[in-house]
Amino acid sequence: MRAVVIDEYGGPEVLRVVEVAEPVAGAGQVRVRVRSAGVNPVDVKQREGFFAAVARARFPLRLGNEYAGTVDQVGDGVRDFAVGDDVLGSATGQCYADLVVIEAADVVAKPASLSWDAAGGLPAVGQTAYTALEQIGGVGDGETLLVHAAAGGVGTVAVQIARLRGATVIGTASEGNHDYLRSLGAVPVAYGPGLVDRVRALAPGGVDAALDAVGGDATAVSLALVADRHRIGTTIDAAAAETHGFLRVGGRTTPGLRQLAEWCGTGAVVLPSVTGYPLDQVAAAHRHVGTGHTRGKVVLRVG
């Protein structure tokens, strides 16, 4: 089968599509033939070596943390899924590939109304957004949340979850994405010098919590606006979180993903717009995500 690997850290040019052995589903596992796989900022950071100091890599290193596809093999003891079921989920470091093997307990049924592109872009960003909001205090009715990179994959989902729970959401984005944020129910604000003052003008009662999905200058802005550092979270910059005493947030929750899939199936949460690339154009997909100003999601169309 095909899989994307890197043999060293570097730019998009280090990404290679190679042939590797097909995995086999063990007891309690299912094997999924991947239809689409999300490409996320964390994948770009991993390729660049951003996490090398805290997680030593063994090359060749495979990438990709979310997928959607069809079950094509079921291991012993699996009762909830059968060959032919359409599913989605997370599988750390293996999803840029034709096949993934995953614990059946971590798999969620794909709603029939979800396109393959949308389903492949939901699991990692959806679970990250869901758990991140819980970890910074579960923003709710009457509160104001600032979301950095609100038009991106994590941001798009976080905005909608917070709005469902009654919060006011201010989202940073480039000017071209402001109408998109308004369509999600967020109040858009432009990046750049003066951001702190612009947010204060939009939230005269203050900002209760902040979620950063981009890194960089977002740290200083969040610290200036949110008094309680346990209500500031970053999905990207663990070093800044440790230095300044706020939270590195995110993670996986299968019940959360199941809830998100239900919301998406009913239309309560609208998934990000999707740009798709074939697997052999993975370098172009990484260049796209690496701009830091992507609207919605980028996925690899694998099968």
DSSP structure string for 116-169: HHHHHTSHHHHHHHHHHHHHTT---TT-EEEEETTTBHHHHHHHHHHHHTT-EE
What sign results for the dihedral spanned by CA atoms 184, 131, 70, 95?
positive
Is the pLDDT at 89 greater than 90, yes or no? yes
Is the pLDDT at 196 greater than 80, yes or no? yes
Q: Report the DSSP pairing between strands 61-62 and 2-6.
A: antiparallel
pLDDT at residue 294 in the model: 73
Is the pLDDT at 255 greater than 80, yes or no? yes
- pLDDT-based confidence at residue 110 (cuts at 50, 70, 90): very high
For residues 136 and 210, state if they share a domain: yes
- pLDDT-based confidence at residue 35 (cuts at 50, 70, 90): very high
CA dist 235 and 150 (Å) reads 13
For residues 73 and 150, state if they share a domain: no
Quote the mean pLDDT of the chain: 95
CA dist 249 and 240 (Å) reads 12
Domain that holds residue 242: 126-248
For residues 101 and 165, state if they share a domain: no
Average pLDDT over residues 31-52: 94
Taking the mean position of all CA atoms in its chain, how far away is CA 258? 15
- pLDDT-based confidence at residue 143 (cuts at 50, 70, 90): very high
For residues 240 and 179, state if they share a domain: yes
> What is the model's pTM?
0.84
For residues 225 and 142, state if they share a domain: yes
How many separate domains does the chain show?
A: 2
Question: What is the CATH number for 93?
Answer: 3.90.180.10
Is the pLDDT at 188 greater than 80, yes or no? yes
Share of the chain above pLDDT 90, in %: 86
pLDDT at residue 207 in the model: 99
For residues 205 and 295, state if they share a domain: no
Is the pLDDT at 132 greater than 90, yes or no? yes
For residues 155 and 218, state if they share a domain: yes
- pLDDT-based confidence at residue 267 (cuts at 50, 70, 90): very high
For residues 117 and 130, state if they share a domain: no
In a domain, 260, yes or no: no
